Structure formats: structure tokens, C-alpha cells
Structure 1
């Protein structure tokens, strides 16, 4: 169970780190599967010819077990609400990052899009349609030089004010990124580091970015969404707001005591 301080941290900073969220044995089993699919040799760095290889759709037993531990389910209930999230049986995409001097080409600050618009663009709206959480599952040990995801602390509370005027259709993730101002981009940076088995549970609006790998051991990480079982609500008659909803509401709160909705 998350402590009250951790829940408050999630609302304030936009993420919480859970140590030992799943066993290292599952991480090792998962990495063995992933290594085979990369086509690379784990003991021969001359075969690591790309800065990043993306693999997706992993629903084998190690991945199913990793995303369904009791501690994670308890945290989902606490952050999103009991009955408000959909169980997962896979871990989706793995952007596997290799030590390389080359630019991986995907290191810009962004918030994850969560639904397809009518024009085919990937978008997000103020109710976070299609995403209850962004999750980072570390399947390898990740240190500061191992391309850890960069997190702009508290940036999730900047995003609602840009999404709210766009209504249900929201903004594409590119359109949103064009709104980032000096306040957001100068926020403190946290690195998503930790031993294999660590999970970062992040607010869906958290601004984050990849970075080049300057270490020596490839980084294995999954970044699946937790899907909502019901729409996120910003006006609940009973006031039973989840921490995800509380953070969005705080981002819409004006100094004069009014909300931007």
C-alpha cells in the first residue's frame, strides 16, 4: 500500500516510485525473451548497432505476472480508484536503448497521447481519455548513464490549462508540446533510475523525455498505459476524486478561487 506521503507526492510531483514492484526473477526471464527478439547478442556489443530498438506486444508469463503483483494492484486502486481501471495482461512496447554515440531521434519533451483523433493524429484531452496512468517498468538495472527517462517534476499540473480550452478533442501531442513554456521546461528534472523490478507510476499528463544511452549495458524498460474502466471525472457530485483527478483539478485552479471549467 502507498503511504499518504507517497500519494501526496504523486499529486504534487506527478509520479511515485515503487521499489521491488515485481521480482527480479521476472525481469531476468523477460529480458531473455526480449534479447532474442532484438536479434542482438547480449555478450557481443558489436551487434548493438542501433541506439534504440522498439519491441511490442509482450504478453508472455513474465510480463503478465510483472504487471499484476498485489502491490501494483493496490497502488492502482489508490491512485486511480477501485473499479476505475482495466487490468492488463501485457506490457506493450519496450523501447530498448543501447549504448551509442548516435542521436536516437526521440528525445523531445512530451506528454503521452492517449487516443486517436478523427484526423488520425494521436491526442490527449483534459479528461485524459484512454489513459489513467503512464507506467515505467524497469526490467534492467538503470543508472544515471543508462538512458533513464527524464521527468519534469510537477509538470503534470501545467498541462490541464492548455488542454481544457481544446475540449473533448484535445490537442495532438505535438500541439501540446508547442505550448510548453519556460515554467514547465525549467522545472526540476528527475531521472527514472533504479534496480530491475522498479516501477514508476506517473500521472498521464507528466512531461517526460528519453535521452541517449551513455553507459555500457542496454536498458530494458516497458512504458505501458493503465487504461481507465470509466472516464476520468472532474466534477463528481460526491467529491470522491482520485489522486489523478485531484492533480488535474489543481492544474485548473485559479488564484482567485475559481476553476477553469
Structure 2
């Protein structure tokens, strides 16, 4: 069975921070899940007059239907390729679901940010650290077709490489999400114009697998139909190891090491079955790439 991700796609993940995995789970499953989520909203899919808010957020669901979406062999093989076999925990469901409706009002949640994952003892809020405690990947599961007009998540290409230097001095304890965002914004790195913007467009059943430090943002839905996605983390079995004795760094770890200047292309080590060489140049994205945009999926 051929690898789900090619060597070039893995290199693009390392340098750009994400990869688009088409048909990661069956489209009919996406349609069943979407029908379930419509019922959970209490809104009428046939009556736009009932769509009174720009975004409705639903929690997580562990029903068998969502387990089918989250645990396909295609996804699991991609997790092995990006995170490493035995280094992640299978999902038992999916969530949260930010459902974005066509609406003239500002949804009020479109700022650039990276996701946080835990709260240290004695603290409040959401935190993150250099070794990415409790998050192996950020994932975007598409449950509806999403084009450029229907509120696709925006991602700053390569921005995951900007985050580690701001986390290095915080150690294992890490830093509060808001503090990190403020610090990076003041340094011109949260919404850097040097990083192009890609749109997470695709078809129902597609999944975007993103580096846990990727900077991203929501945007309003200016289309005609609601946009349904889930944005769960992939949970790791442990922390990133940035000093492996065997050199078997995952692509997620390699990106952090590159950001910190602790590796180069000549010193890259590969996990088994992840390809045999680094690509010389990143290939074009299979998502719409835009520039000049500023500004949660």
C-alpha cells in the first residue's frame, strides 16, 4: 500500500506548516454528520431566516458516526507519517464545531492566533509550551464543501516556524495563550506580512493536518450556505522530543528544531517509511493562496 503522504508533501508540511489530505474520510459520512449537526443547532437548513447568528459553536461528539470520520486508515497512516507511530492517541470523537453562517455581522473571533492545549496547576486559561504538551497536530475536518467565499480558515504559511523562539525560554511550564499572542504581535510576528495566507478550502471529507504551532484565523462567511468544520487536536502520547539519541525526529519535531536553528537539511533524520530525501523546494499549495489579509477557525 503506497504511503498516504509523499516525501514532497511531508517536506511542505515541515516548511509550510500544514498539508491538505483529500478524502480523508468518506463524503457520505460527512453528510450524515452534517445532518446530525443541523439537528443539534435547532435551526432549519431550508430556511435562512432562522440563521440569526454569524457563528454557532457545538461541543464534541463521540457518537459512532463521528468516530468513523476520525479513525480512517488514511488518517491514521498520515498521523504516523507526521507525528510518528506510537506517538499519538486515536480520536474517540470530534469537536468543537464552529458553524459559520452567511451573515452581515462581524463574528468577533477572526484574530490571528495559535491553539493552546492545557492549563498548568494553579493557573487559569489555556497554555502552550515548546514541546507542545497535549497537542500533536491541529486538525481541520471539513464537513461541508468550502470555497473561498464560505469562510475557509486562513493560515499563515510557514508561521509555525515563528513560534518556537517565543516559547523556548518558558520551559516545560509554558506560557499563557493571550500573553504569547500579545508578545508575538508586539514583535510583528503574529500577523507578519512576510507570511502569505492560504485558505483551507476543499470538499466534505477532506482534512487539513497542521503543525500545532501554525498561526491561523477565522473569517466571516460571505457565501450562501453554512460552513461546517471540526477543529480537534490530535492528542500525543508524550511531549515532543527535540534531542533524540536515535535522530528519529518526526516532521513536527523537525520543524521546531529548524526554527530554533538546531538542525539543517544536511542533518535531517527520517522516520521509517516517511520518504528518503528532503525536497529541494516546496511545491505549490493545492489551496488558494492570497496575500494582504490581516486579522478562530
Is TM more than 0.5 here?
Answer: yes
Residue 88 of structure 2 aligns to a residue in which SS? Answer: coil
Q: Does 1:209 align with 2:209?
A: no
Q: Does 1:182 align with 2:185?
A: no
Kindly indicate whether the alpha-carbon contact (under 8 Å) linking 1:27 and 1:62 is maintained by their aligned counterparts in 2. Answer: no
Change (3 A) 1:183 1:176: closer
Residue 212 of structure 1 aligns to a residue in which SS? Answer: coil
C-alpha deviations, 1:210-259, integer Å up to 9, x for none? 01110010000000000001221111111110000000111111799xxx
1:62 & 1:124 partners in 2: Cα distance? 31
2:13 aligned to which of 3, 7, 10: 10
2:110 aligned to which of 104, 107, 114: 107
Post-superposition shift, 1:61? 2.1
Residue 130 of structure 1 aligns to a residue in which SS? Answer: coil
TM-score by length of 2: 0.84
Q: Does 1:226 align with 2:234?
A: yes
TM-score by length of 1: 0.95
2:25 & 2:161 partners in 1: Cα distance? 29
Structure 1: tracts of 5 or more residues without a match: 257-261
Residue 182 of structure 1 aligns to a residue in which SS? Answer: coil
C-alpha deviations, 1:59-118, integer Å up to 9, x for none? 122210111111100000000000000001101210000001111111000000011133
Change (3 A) 1:82 1:109: same
Change (3 A) 1:65 1:111: same
Tell me what 1:20 maps to: 23
Structure 2: tracts of 5 or more residues without a match: 265-297
C-alpha deviations, 1:135-182, integer Å up to 9, x for none? 000000001011100000000000000001111121111111111343
2:131 & 2:197 partners in 1: Cα distance? 25
2:86 aligned to which of 60, 74, 83: 83
> Higher mean Cα deviation, 36-45 or 177-186?
177-186
2:144 aligned to which of 140, 143, 163: 140
Kindly indicate whether the alpha-carbon contact (under 8 Å) linking 1:111 and 1:206 is maintained by their aligned counterparts in 2. Answer: yes
Q: Does 1:151 align with 2:161?
A: no
2:251 & 2:209 partners in 1: Cα distance? 12
1:230 & 1:162 partners in 2: Cα distance? 21
1:255 & 1:3 partners in 2: Cα distance? 22
Tell me what 1:259 maps to: none
1:168 aligned to which of 169, 172, 180: 172
Structure 1's consecutive aligned runs of 4 or more residues displaced over 4 angstroms after TM superposition are: none
Kindly indicate whether the alpha-carbon contact (under 8 Å) linking 2:257 and 2:263 is maintained by their aligned counterparts in 1. Answer: no
Tell me what 2:99 maps to: 96
1:124 & 1:230 partners in 2: Cα distance? 14
1:122 aligned to which of 111, 123, 126: 126
Matches within 5 A, 1:187-206: 187-206=195-214
Q: What is the alpha-carbon root mean square deviation over aligned residues? A: 1.4
Residue 32 of structure 1 aligns to a residue in which SS? Answer: helix
2:64 & 2:134 partners in 1: Cα distance? 25
